[in-house]
Structure 1
Amino acid sequence: MKTDMYTKTILTIIAIALTLTVLQNYQLLPSAYANGNEKERISRSNISEEITDLDNYRLVKISDVNTMDVRIVDISTYDELNVNIKSIDSYDELKVNLKSIETNDNLDINIDEVGGQSIYSGNAIPVKIEQ
């Protein structure tokens, strides 16, 4: 009899945990986001240095079709634009349009395929340069 009660208790706890996990994915409860000045919170702690980069990060809204428009304004040639795309979960193309690059540095570009064709050493890549 004790074993039956113990088993039912453990299975009930597991069922409650699984139910909460499933309900968490449906976001029935609204999420809470902190809002405030990050500099103030840091200056109250024992950190003496001033951190200004934290003001540059914001939440980015993504549309219903999972697209995000990005507009980059006024990047000087001495700044570095670090773009890291971790994954694209489809066979759609990632379109990149660079209108102007003013630098004498080498551009490190790694291209795996062009037009669905794999690129191996020795294959030519079509490049169109407009002046």
Structure 2
Amino acid sequence: MVKKMIIIVLLIFINTARAAELSATSDDEFELNYQIEEEFDKCVKDDAKNYSTRMMNCYYDAADAWEKEIDRLFKLSLKEQKDETIKSALIMKQKSWVKYKEAYFKALDKIYTLQEVGTAELTVSASIKMNFLLNKAAEFTESY
């Protein structure tokens, strides 16, 4: 039990540290949306019962928000790009990444559902997914 709580506290720390790197953004800026991390921080600090379940749900909510942020940044990168050959390459790159993401998440789901795991391990899986998506969103800001 202590080990699980340490893992959860470390996950919160890592995500809070990462939030310091992000900044607020508008729809037409290649900057990460800091509000996603603010909402995540509020969610994990909530006083609700069922801490592990709440944490897991916070990670999934943040992952959904990062999915939308990736979509926004991808569309913006296409809009900004004038060269049709590069646009085509960006689309191919994104489609390949989506296939990889789906396979990666499916593998994570198998790993964490085939084992006899509790909520803490499922929270770790949710955290991995959220950070995977956050890193993809960050890639857009570094590339453009």
Q: TM-score, normalised by structure 2?
A: 0.22
Higher fraction of helix: 2
Question: Which has the higher relative contact order, 1 or 2, with Cα contacts under 8 A spaced 6 or more apart?
Answer: 2
Q: TM-score, normalised by structure 1?
A: 0.24
